[in-house]
Structure 1
Amino acid sequence: MIDWLGNFFSNRPLSSILDVLLVWYIIYRLIIYARGTRALNLLKGVAIIIAAKFISSTLGLQTIDWLLGQVISWGVVASIILFQPELRKALENLGRNLFRNRKHLRNPSQKLIDDLENALLYMSKRKIGALISIEANEKLDEYIETGTPMNSEISNQLLINIFVPNTPLHDGAVIISDYRIAAASCYLPLSESSLIPKELGTRHRAAIGLGEATDALTLIVSEETGSISIVKHDHLHRDLDQESLRILLNQYLMINEEDKDEQDILDDIRDFFTAKFTQKGGK
């Protein structure tokens, strides 16, 4: 095997390396797609059969090698029949990913911002309590595991339905990871800070606690007042109106299409909130 690999790479160094890399990439994408579906069990079975075929061929077990060869030959046809829905879905996803709108490709966060804004404003008007955390660079797996797995596409209707009172998932936080709802009814760490105002409840304390531990962005709708708040690290933005909410969501979630300097963005936001608080007579 080692001699064969050596001859393979020495005779065609560039093309063989590219060939191997492409094969590994295809295998990687198959595993990523199959994760969380019954197709993953199929891939595990295929890997075991291929490994057994290699071992039997190496050891000279001719009968077993022949039987495994037949299994592999007919297994391809059987897999197409058994997993036809999954294969069709994979081809549809491939077509959408290749030919989807270029703007959406550069800015996948735009739909997320729209859905979050619509859901938060709807729940704010009706005083529906909500707690939504969006994963950033630091993974939130340990918090996702405390909730109910969903792995669902994001829509404002789904977010609203999750937090409707007296439904199974309305308690706890929704966690968004990679532009999908990873889980609902998750437990977040409560902050022990003595600087948190007494009028803020458990949702705000949980959002601040997560901000202290990770770089996640957390959105809160108060069940008592309907006010909207945003927490990022140790920054708490309270009582946001629609315009303020939109600006902060774009600041934290938008993938910028232009190479605008980060300091200019922060200055624009600071000037906006300074003007808003001045008009209201705030500090």
Structure 2
Amino acid sequence: MNNTNILENITTTTIITSVIDLIIVWYVFYLLITVMRGTKAIQLIKGIFFILIGRGISNAFDLTTTTEIFDTVLEWGFLAIIVIFQPELRRALEQLGRGSLFRSTSNTAGADYEKLREAIVKSIRYMAKRRIGALIVFEKETGLKEYTETGITVDANITSELLINIFIPNTPLHDGAMIVTGDKINSAASYLPLSDSSKIAKNLGTRHRAAVGISEVTDAFTVVVSEETGNISVTYGGKLDKEITLEELDELLKKHWSILPAIKEGGGLFARK
């Protein structure tokens, strides 16, 4: 009898309202993820999901102390989120004001990876021979959005001629880092965090410290050409490899640089934008 009363109280209007309510909540959640993906904040969001899962497991097994710890973390975590995500929240409000939050973005078609890698190596060979300083960052899993926004947006196809022109001395874009996302040159003249590591040789300049710095806080792969010696160096995982050959560079690019993420954009909730 009670079940019959419950079914009678559920009207078509109630069902439609509930569905609309759920759609709005999930769409707002999706927009927040869209704004934050491509930044380090997305890694923190994944961490929050793990905490929620851990809390559920501890509660299911009646682990009182562990559950209380998780509850405390979640209770105070919301204040921490506001502080940690402050740049992303500000960016979301700015995009909402410009109306750009609701615009769709087109994906880049798959490019010939071999030709792109040859273009990279060709430009590095040219700059190393003429001692033209260069700093090229290849984005991997961790988004570099907060660093690309410090530079000048390029959003151009990768060609050896363009790479060389960007790093020609005394031009507007030569000072700073070029950031490559997928098969596109995302930005130039971008600022990177400098490493404080004492293991970096004193004779190495700002470019090398910036390359090591970005590799310490992200999983990016970075190529550096010294304007003093013309030597080629690479960094990844906080590690600096100096004086590598062009053949070694080509092999490292095969290992650390893939245009696959750009082709697969939008494939999942945490896909990069």
Report the TM-score, using the length of structure 2 for normalisation.
0.55
Equivalent position SS for 2:142: coil
Structure 1: where are the runs of 5+ without partners?
8-23, 29-43, 48-89, 98-104, 257-283
Equivalent position SS for 1:231: strand
Over residues 227-274 of structure 1, what are the superposed CA-to-partner deviations in whole Å (9 max), with x where a residue is unaligned?
A: 111101122121111211111111212579xxxxxxxxxxxxxxxxxx
1:133 equivalent in alignment to 2:137: yes
Percent of residue pairs identical: 44
Deviation at 1:178, TM superposition (A): 2.5
Worse-superposed segment, 206-215 or 172-181: 172-181
Structure 2: where are the runs of 5+ without partners?
1-10, 17-26, 32-98, 261-273
Deviation at 1:124, TM superposition (A): 0.5
Equivalent position SS for 1:196: coil
Structure with larger RCO (C-alpha < 8 A, sep 6+): 2
1:110–1:254 CA contact under 8 A, matched in 2: no
State the partner residue of 1:179.
Answer: 183
State the partner residue of 1:234.
Answer: 238
Deviation at 1:111, TM superposition (A): 3.3
Worse-superposed segment, 229-238 or 205-214: 229-238
Equivalent position SS for 2:141: coil
1:119 equivalent in alignment to 2:162: no
Residues 6 and 142 from structure 1, CA distance in 2 versus in 1: closer, same or farther, beyond 3 angstroms? same
Greater helix proportion? 1
Equivalent position SS for 1:116: helix
1:160 equivalent in alignment to 2:164: yes
Question: Aligned equivalents of 2:134 and 2:13: distance in 1?
Answer: 60
Deviation at 1:181, TM superposition (A): 1.1
How many residue pairs align between the two structures? 176
1:194 equivalent in alignment to 2:198: yes
- Runs of 4+ in structure 1 off by over 3 angstroms are 2-7
Question: Aligned equivalents of 2:249 and 2:123: distance in 1?
Answer: 12
- What is the aligned-residue RMSD (CA, Å)? 3.6
Amino acid at match of 1:223: E
1:144–1:183 CA contact under 8 A, matched in 2: yes
2:183–2:259 CA contact under 8 A, matched in 1: no
1:115–1:155 CA contact under 8 A, matched in 2: yes
1:172–1:186 CA contact under 8 A, matched in 2: yes
1:135–1:178 CA contact under 8 A, matched in 2: yes
Question: Aligned equivalents of 1:151 and 1:5: distance in 2?
Answer: 47
Question: Aligned equivalents of 1:171 and 1:255: distance in 2?
Answer: 25
Question: Aligned equivalents of 1:121 and 1:186: distance in 2?
Answer: 22
Report the TM-score, using the length of structure 1 for normalisation.
0.53
Question: Aligned equivalents of 2:128 and 2:223: distance in 1?
Answer: 12
Question: Aligned equivalents of 2:144 and 2:173: distance in 1?
Answer: 18
Q: Which of 150, 153, 156 matches 2:154?
A: 150
Question: Aligned equivalents of 1:199 and 1:241: distance in 2?
Answer: 20
Whichever of the two has the greater Rg, that structure is 1
State the partner residue of 2:72.
Answer: none
State the partner residue of 1:248.
Answer: 252
State the partner residue of 1:78.
Answer: none
State the partner residue of 1:170.
Answer: 174
- Map 1:83-122 to 2 at 5 A: 105=110, 109-122=113-126
